[in-house]
A = this chain, B = another copy of it.
Amino acid sequence: MSDRSAHAAPGRLTHWEKRTEVPLFVASLFFLAGYAVHVLAPRNTEPWRDLALALVGATWLLFLADYAVRLRLSGLGLRFVRAHWLDTVVLLLPLLRPLRLVRVYTAVQRRRDRPRLDLYARAMTYAGLAAVLLGFSAALAVYHQEHGAPGATIRTFGDAAWWVCATLTTVGYGDVSPVTPGGRTVAALLMVCGLALLGAVTGSFSSWLLQVFTREDEKRPPERG
């Protein structure tokens, strides 16, 4: 949605966005890795956990700098915040960054001069990858919120991963589920984003399957004639 406004904006903004797409995505992977180490490392490995926290902070400052530069270049002033509300949300909740994967994916494809994937396969790949990254982030965040809470059922990272699987696919057994307000907020965000992504995977798969069967029909006559 912010795609069109970006194209209407001055050329320098577009240039900046094209240049920073891939580096920022790599930075967001470092952010995720830092957060993972901070959350999952045992209590007594203090130097590593602090280092990881520093990495998280540093990458977040990078995101903030990028946001500031883009706000400047756009020449929109504070209207930028509203026009690019999705970017603003992603700045405040950096664990949602995987959702911006669609741009990176396009950028990477543009550089490789290879025939690109089929339309449905691309939609499935994008939605699938975004769902995996989002699920991993959510598992970390929920584990972080829950594992020490009294009465929690999510006690290990394995439980959190299992909970994410059951939630993203909307199966929802309820054998493990968040009990703290923080964990439930993360869960609600995961449900909303995940539902849309999984719906896109399912919808694309369904369309793709119908396409395969349709093509087959079209190939038929020449094969026989």
A residues lining the B interface (CB < 8 Å): 1, 3, 102, 106, 116, 118-123, 126-127, 158, 162, 165-167, 169-175, 177, 179, 181, 184, 187-188, 191-192, 195-196, 198-207, 209-210, 212-214, 216-217
Contact = CB atoms under 8 A, between A and B. Distances in A.
Given A119-B210, A172-B172, 16 more contacts: A3-B212, A106-B216, A119-B213, A119-B214, A123-B213, A126-B213, A165-B188, A167-B171, A169-B192, A173-B174, A173-B177, A175-B179, A200-B202, A200-B209, A203-B207, A203-B210
Contacts of A181: 158
Nearest to A217: B119
Given A1-B121, A120-B210, A210-B120, A198 B195 contact: yes
A158 B184 CA distance: 10
Contacts of A119: 210, 213-214, 217
A75 B166 CA distance: 42
A41 to B, nearest CB: 21
Interface centre among A119, A123, A209, by most chain B C-beta atoms within 10 angstroms, is A209
Nearest to A215: B3
B172 A166 contact: yes
18 contacts: A3-B212, A102-B209, A102-B212, A116-B217, A120-B210, A126-B213, A162-B184, A171-B191, A172-B174, A173-B173, A173-B174, A173-B177, A174-B174, A174-B175, A175-B179, A202-B203, A202-B206, A204-B206
Contacts of A102: 209, 212
A116 B172 CA distance: 37
B174 A195 contact: no
B209 A210 contact: no
A202 B196 contact: yes
Contacts of A188: 162, 165
Contact of A172 (B127, B173, B200): B173
Given A170-B171, A216-B106, A202 B199 contact: yes
